[in-house]
Amino acid sequence: MLRSSTSLILHVAALIAFTFTGVTLGCGSPGDGEPSSDTEAALHSTAFPEAHPVPEDQVVVLEEGANQAASIPTSSAAFDYYVLALSWSPQHCATPAGNRDSTQCMGPRPFGFIVHGLWPQYERGWPEDCGGGPSLSPTTIRSMMDIMPSERLIRHEWRKHGTCSGLAPNDYFALTRKAFSVFQTPSGYGTPESAINVKPASYKQAILDANPSLNARTIAVICSGRFLQEVRICLDKNLQARPCGSGVRDRCNVPEMIVRPLR
């Protein structure tokens, strides 16, 4: 009789534990337009030392296929796709905020593209500040510093976008790293020693040539005035390229844009 009662108690406890672990985070209502790079640029400052960098020539492109997809943390949250926002670091470092950013702009490593964020998106608008997510550990923050060299940026991106992903912090940032590894900087543009003047359409085509899985509908090139600021890539929940929604579009309205050199 005692053995039977103990088994019943353990069974009920297991059911309760299963029920609570199945809860997922909810997200708020979509906004209009798209997140502002200019507003978030001021977040690039950090109290953490730079992590061991990953050389640009060692970035690996994910192979397509079921085995790769199975290794990707997949969200069941109610959004349609991700935007991977990649900031051109030299542009940030040329701003007043960059002049105060010792880690990203004055350290031993000259950064090219860094991760601005991985943003859950709707076809129109996006969720943000969904709340309910756990705090980030120092270990998680340090693990991302080689591709997101700012503690404040990492914390901000988790609060504003990561909490809407339906993923735990470690899974969200692991997914962010995988998404970053999908992208290859075009040959000749990865480590420029002097400024490059190029037509926005030509630069976009160079990206497509370097990344055959992308097409013109899956990326957007963003400028700040005449200067390259970001590249945004639209990915499904398995990190495969897909067409961008209505709010993600090219914003380089100049005959020629300038790609700043590394610094």
Query: Is 44 tagged catalytic?
Result: no
Query: Is 157 tagged catalytic?
Result: yes
The one catalytic residue in 44, 128, 161, 230 is 161
Angle at which helix 151-160 crosses helix 169-182, to 10 degrees, equals 110
Rounded distance, CA 133 to CA 243, Å?
29
The one catalytic residue in 40, 116, 128, 230 is 116
The one catalytic residue in 128, 151, 157, 230 is 157
Query: Is 11 tagged catalytic?
Result: no
Could you list the active site residues?
116, 157, 161
